[in-house]
Amino acid sequence: MWNRSTDNASALDADSSMTRNPNAWMLSDLDGVPRNGIKVFTTFACGGGSSMGYKRAGCEVVAANDIDPQMQKHYVANLKPKHYYLCPIRDLIGRNDLEQFKNIDILDGSPPCSTFSMTGNRESDWGKEKHFREGQAKQVLSDLFFDFLDLAENLKPKVIIAENVEGMLRGQAKGYCKLVVTRMREMGYRPQVFLLNAADCGVPQRRKRVFFCAVRDDVSKATLSLNPTSKWVSAGEAIAGLPDVVNSTDCMPTLCDKKWWPLTKPGECFSKAVLKTEGRNSLFQHFRLDEKQPAPTLSANSALFTHWSICRKLSFAEWKRLGSFPDDYHAESEKIGKYMIGMSVPPKMTEYVARQVCSQWFGVKS
């Protein structure tokens, strides 16, 4: 499909430190995880971040869905699913070949969230048809959560798990959040809403995300408790042992980086230097990472993040570690690989949620 050398795989194969860094793992490690019998259908699957989290927790991901052909290509190449459905999520409702997934244990989904992101246009984009990514079919992004719930009503899973951005709990989006909870109750589920930090789940990234976890009314279980307390992993700890970046065109600094990186302290965004030097507000999303702290939320735009000790962009191998992706996750280019990690739920974050749901609601021992 593509040359392994395009995603630093050849360099990583030679890196014996992968076995020494406790923050590194490989796709092949999933083969050794004991199965717990819980089956998952995942939607908005993207590059497979949440799917890998379920697999790390011992679940079997029996089917996946996404609308984006690029996401499908990478998901299939890395995770080799039994069933993959490339289509808008609404097209899944009522399909005869999905009867086999009725009453499945978990229906998972992360409806695209740019209309709720604190860095996006928020309310002004609600109800508008638009591309979520160039080359993808147009959709009304603010409707996708309810399309997901319509699928849930059709499949009647025992448990629904939906992830979204922290912005769903802010401003007018709080009303949208209440509508989601009300809809789940009308469908016969008992929903709970949690705000979690990926860093508390062992991910070297301060990524706050909302999780809607709902159990079907006829499943007699107590309320779910989610309180992750993993030790925070710093960016430096995460990428320790990776090969040095040498002459990578994907890591070259921009003129903007060369100007503002030297004036920015590790762990801060460029905006402070811009305000102090030129008296204007700008570059709030451009970060110089701190070696001793988890990274800020990695976005789909990898150009916004720079290394702490060298004025350069981060490599794909470094992005994989910071996103808790496996070292041998392959992508046809560094750009698309970084995009998928920025868009995905970090595997270790989903793993934490999955383990708690499997233990507390399905009675599975970790």
Q: What is the pLDDT of residues 66-84, one digit of tens each?
A: 999 999 999 999 999 999 9
- Tokens (6 digits) for 25: 């793992």
- Model pTM score: 0.90
CA distance 350 to 84: 20
4 falls within a domain = no
Q: Give the H or E element holding residue 10.
A: helix 9-13
Could you tell me if 272 and 312 lie in one domain?
A: yes
Could you tell me if 197 and 256 lie in one domain?
A: no
- Which of 15-24, 205-214, 234-243, 337-346 is the least confident region? 15-24
**Res 18: pLDDT:** 43
Could you tell me if 283 and 166 lie in one domain?
A: no
Judge whether 48 and 68 are in contact, CB under 8 Å. no
Among residues 30, 56, 51, 27, the alpha carbon closest in space to that of 40 is found at 51
DSSP letters along 58-73, please? Answer: T-EEEEEEES-HHHHH
Could you tell me if 122 and 256 lie in one domain?
A: no
CA distance 306 to 206: 16
Could you tell me if 76 and 210 lie in one domain?
A: yes
Could you tell me if 80 and 175 lie in one domain?
A: yes
Q: In whole angstroms, how large is the CA radius of gyration of the chain?
A: 20
Judge whether 297 and 345 are in contact, CB under 8 Å. no
- Which of 42-46, 52-56, 136-140 is the least confident region? 136-140
Find the CATH number of the domain harbouring 57: 3.40.50.150
Judge whether 79 and 48 are in contact, CB under 8 Å. yes
Q: What is the mean pLDDT of residues 228-234?
A: 98
Max distance between CA atoms of the chain, in angstroms, equals 63
Could you tell me if 40 and 185 lie in one domain?
A: yes
- Which of 92-106, 162-176, 187-201 is the least confident region? 162-176
Q: Looking at the 3D structure of the chain, how many domains does it have?
A: 2
Q: Where in the sequence is the domain holding 174, given as residue range(s)?
A: 30-229+347-360
